[in-house]
Amino acid sequence: MEKKNNFLMQYQKIKQSPMFGILVFLIVMILIRLLGNAGIMRQSTIDFISLVLIYSIAGLGFSLLLGYTGLASLGTAGFIGLGTYLISFAFANAGLPFVVALFLGFIVAIIMGTIVGFISLRIEGMYLAIITLGLSEIFIEIFKKAISITNGQNGLQVENFNFFGFLEASNALAYRNAIYFIILFVLVIMMVAFINIVNSPTGRAMLSIKNSTSAAQAMGISVLKYRLLAFVIATITAVVAGMLYMPYFEFTEPGIWNLGVSLNILAAVIVGGSKSIWGVTLGTFIIFGLRDIVLKQIPFFQENGNAVFFFTGALVILIVMYYPGGLVKLFDSLWKKGKVKLQNLRRGE
């Protein structure tokens, strides 16, 4: 009897931990892929979910930047694009293994993040966003012009990726699975890291910089250090997202990585809630899902693809006006209200 109670208590304790949610998420996502393998789920749905997972990786890094350090950036797409070309180059031209390519991406991201971080010390708010947008446009221009590596406007198709021995040519299904699970693995690691960071002195230091720079400095927090850190993390996640995008979709062109993607990631983080991993994932799902699942069924949006932005924009405005904490906050308060109502009902009986 006592043992059972003990077990129940353990279960309650585990349920409280944020890691429990991540574990459930992981299991659900693995199941989805297995359902896909069994032919119950359509491949296009799984492709869409993979895209959401990839953008969630970039979104998590971005939410550290926006939600915690209070810095806006519109350069995310450029960095994701950079990641796609980097891994293509590493595989196709240089023939490097995946881990080495990843390492290369880290180095490039750290350099880029540091540069933008230094800029952020001088310029803040809207102007910083414009600078990062400019940087992103520079990247796109480079993608267009460096034809020998990027194949320019025509886009780049690379199919001979090698993931720990998984090759598409030899076994397409195994390759697809391997990529999917690597994406999932990276996202889960990113989620755990995110939770650990925001609950640590680093996360608190970032929040204090967002709230009051002078108080942060008086408490011994170096603004330079944490802004650089935030930018470096955001850049690394964006580049890694790009490096995972390319092996999955196997095609990249400069036109994809325009302002639209950056804005969508910004919208996803705001709509979902920038201070929670579920907020970011949910926001990404809604913003990209809105386009790929719901609106593409309607003929008007099939003809005018860019009209989706109306919806995204309206959603962002509504959320910012009525639920600044994002949809996660909304669900949270609904959940709590429901609980209270349920308790009242029980008491009434």
Partner 1 sequence: MATLKEINQDIAKLKKQLSHLKLDVYALEATPNQKEAEKAQLQQTIKQLKSQLDDKLVEKTSLLGSDSSKLDDNVILRLENLTMKFGGLVAVDNLSFDVKKGEVFGLIGPNGAGKTTVFNCITQFYKATSGNVIYRNKDNDVVDLGKFKVHNVIKEGIVRTFQNVELIWELSILENLLIAGHTLYHANFFDHVLKTRRYRKEEKAVRARAMKVLSDVGLTPYMHAYPLGLPYGTLKLVELARTLMTEPKLIILDEPAAGLNDQETAKLTETIRKIQKDYDCTIFLVEHDMGLVMKLCDTICAISFGKQLAIGTPAEIKQNKAVQEAYLGGE
Choose which of 200, 302, 304, 333 interacts with partner 1 (CB under 8 A). 200
Question: Looking at beta carbons only, is 39 or 220 nearer to partner 1?
Answer: 220
User: What does the longest C-alpha to C-alpha distance in the chain come to?
Assistant: 75
Distance in Å, CB of 189 to partner 1, minimum: 10
Question: Hey, what are 164's tokens?
Answer: 């720990």
Looking at the chain, list the stretches that DSSP marks H as alpha helix, in order from N- to C-terminal side: 2-16, 18-38, 43-63, 76-88, 98-122, 125-145, 147-150, 172-198, 201-211, 213-218, 223-249, 259-272, 277-289, 299-303, 308-322, 327-348
Residue 269 contacts residue 59 (beta carbons within 8 Å): yes
Question: Looking at beta carbons only, is 196 or 302 nearer to partner 1?
Answer: 196
Question: Hey, what are 305's tokens?
Answer: 């693809």
Asked if residue 329 binds partner 1 (CB under 8 A), the reply is: no
Q: Tokens 């990027």 appear where?
A: 150
- The C-alpha R_g of the chain, in whole angstroms, comes to 21
Distance in Å, CB of 232 to partner 1, minimum: 10
Asked if residue 343 binds partner 1 (CB under 8 A), the reply is: no
Q: Provide CB contacts within 8 A for 47, sequence distance 6+.
A: 248, 249
Question: Looking at beta carbons only, is 50 or 202 nearer to partner 1?
Answer: 202
Choose which of 41, 92, 149, 223 interacts with partner 1 (CB under 8 A). 223
Choose which of 219, 298, 314, 334 interacts with partner 1 (CB under 8 A). 219
Question: Looking at beta carbons only, is 160 or 217 nearer to partner 1?
Answer: 217
Distance in Å, CB of 277 to partner 1, minimum: 14
Asked if residue 221 binds partner 1 (CB under 8 A), the reply is: yes
3-state DSSP call for residue 169? coil
Asked if residue 8 binds partner 1 (CB under 8 A), the reply is: no
Question: Looking at beta carbons only, is 10 or 200 nearer to partner 1?
Answer: 200
Interface positions, 225-244, toward partner 1 (CB under 8 A): 229
Residue 50 phi, psi (nearest 5)? -60, -40
Asked if residue 64 binds partner 1 (CB under 8 A), the reply is: no
Number of residues that bind partner 1 (CB under 8 A): 26
Residue 156 phi, psi (nearest 5)? -120, 130
In angstroms, rounded to a whole number, what is the distance separating the alpha carbons of residues 293 and 224?
42
Asked if residue 338 binds partner 1 (CB under 8 A), the reply is: no
Binding mask 160-199 for partner 1 (x = CB under 8 A): ---------------------------------x--xx--
Binding site for partner 1 (CB under 8 A): 193, 196-197, 200-205, 207-208, 210-212, 214-223, 229, 275
